[in-house]
Amino acid sequence: MIAATLPMVASASAAMAGSYSGTWKLIVTHAQHANGGYCLTLADNGSLGWRHSGQAALAGARVGGTLPYGTFQLIGHTIIVTIEQPGGTGQNAGLVFTGAAANGSVGSGLYDQVYGGEAADTGAVKFGPKGGC
């Protein structure tokens, strides 16, 4: 009985090792307005149809506290994080972060602020290690 249980425990811990749930320090550079550090929180529960997907939230002084409404998806080896941002005068706005991802780690990528359907600010983003906030 114990021998049959051990492979299941090992496979469950291996699956958790690849999880993207947790906090990630983001550093945006080369942007016109958004340079600086942020804290991204991901809940990896597969709720958006991809094995690694779920809810996201972003915190930081430049966003005025916390932006609690967002999602993320890992498609192939690319993570895509979209955060809803308040737009002025009836415009939709959002922040998009992408990065190379594999085995529960995320590397460098791109940042884009979308305002009224167009890119308003762009730059580079570096994802720090999980738990970095």
pLDDT digits 0-9 by tens, 25-38: 999 999 999 999 99
Per-residue model confidence (pLDDT) at position 75? 96
Quick one: pLDDT band at residue 61, thresholds 50, 70, 90?
Answer: confident
Mean pLDDT for all residues in the chain: 87
pLDDT top residue among 76 and 16: 76
Position 4 confidence tier, pLDDT thresholds 50, 70, 90: very low
Tell me the CATH number of domain 20-130, given options 2.40.128, 2.40.170, 1.10.8, 3.40.50: 2.40.128
Give the alpha-carbon dihedral of 34, 31, 78, 22, to 10 degrees: -30
Q: What is the pLDDT of residues 100-130, one digit of tens each?
A: 999 999 999 999 999 988 999 999 999 999 9
The answer to whether the CB of 70 falls within 8 A of the CB of 84 is yes
What's residue 49's pLDDT? 93
